[in-house]
Chains A and B, each alone.
Chain A
Amino acid sequence: EVQLVESGGGLVQPGGSLRLSCVASAFTFSSYWMHWVRQAPGKGLECVSRINGDGGSTTYADSVKGRFTISRDNAKNTLYLQMNSLRAEDTAVYYCVRGGLSGGWNGKAFDIWGQGTMVTVSS
């Protein structure tokens, strides 16, 4: 079964750091763009960051630029999100999401979502 499983969330003080991980299974991980999408409690969805298949291209939402870093280890089928200088407004469930094919558009993106991991930034 195609699956994404996140981990690494928790409670952190403002200004602190956290690293999220997402392990992919049952598909060719290196062939896909991967995204982090977050959802603050009771709020809508926000795309945070994305990375292409070989890790050479990354983009960030303005709200996290300079504080968050996305990366991937294709040998381990794992996506990461390093979050530094955390703020209260970063409190959210963070989802790992499969994007489109990295080598060319196949008509589908955001089709597989992990279960999410909760990040709470509070003193």
Chain B
Amino acid sequence: DIQMTQSPSSLSASVGDRVTITCQASQDISNYLNWYQQKPRMAPKLLIYSASNLETGVPSRFSGSGSGTDFTFTISSLQPEDIATYYCQHFHNLPYTFGQGTKLEI
């Protein structure tokens, strides 16, 4: 199984900060990677698909990059409504696995 190592596991930042989360795959997954935002008691929401594509309706302050084994998710200017847990997920081959999550706090 491909392991997804996400870091950090938690992060405290201020409004307006640039925030970066990384995800490393245990083997090459090309660009088969999504990033999700999950707020308490809600379903995950797709933000970035195929590593770098912004989902329709998602603010442009969110972005993703990377290919192969190393990926980065960035919030260019943190807003109060961005407080959530963020997950990466690969879908290169079965089983599709998620990172352990990054809890973002202000």
A44–B46 alpha-carbon span in the complex (Å): 15
Whether a CB of chain B sits under 8 angstroms from the CB of A114 is: yes
Given contacts A45-B87, A107-B50, A110-B34, contact A115 B43 (CB under 8 A): yes
Interface size on B, residues (CB 8 A): 22
Docked CA distance A47–B34 (Å): 14
**Is A111 touching B43 in the complex (CB atoms < 8 A)?**
no
Against A, the Cβ 8 Å flags (1 = close, 0 = not) of B30-54 are 0000101000001111100110010
Q: Which of A45, A46, A107, A111 contacts B46 (CB 8 A)?
A: A111
Select one of A46, A95, A107, A115 contacting B98, CB under 8 A: A46
Chain B residues whose CB sits within 8 angstroms of the CB of A11 once the complex forms? none
Q: Is A108 an interface residue (CB 8 A)?
A: yes
Query: Residue B82 at the A interface, CB < 8 A?
Result: no
Ranked nearest first, the 3 interchain pairs of A and B with the lowest CB-CB distance are: A113-B43, A45-B98, A47-B96
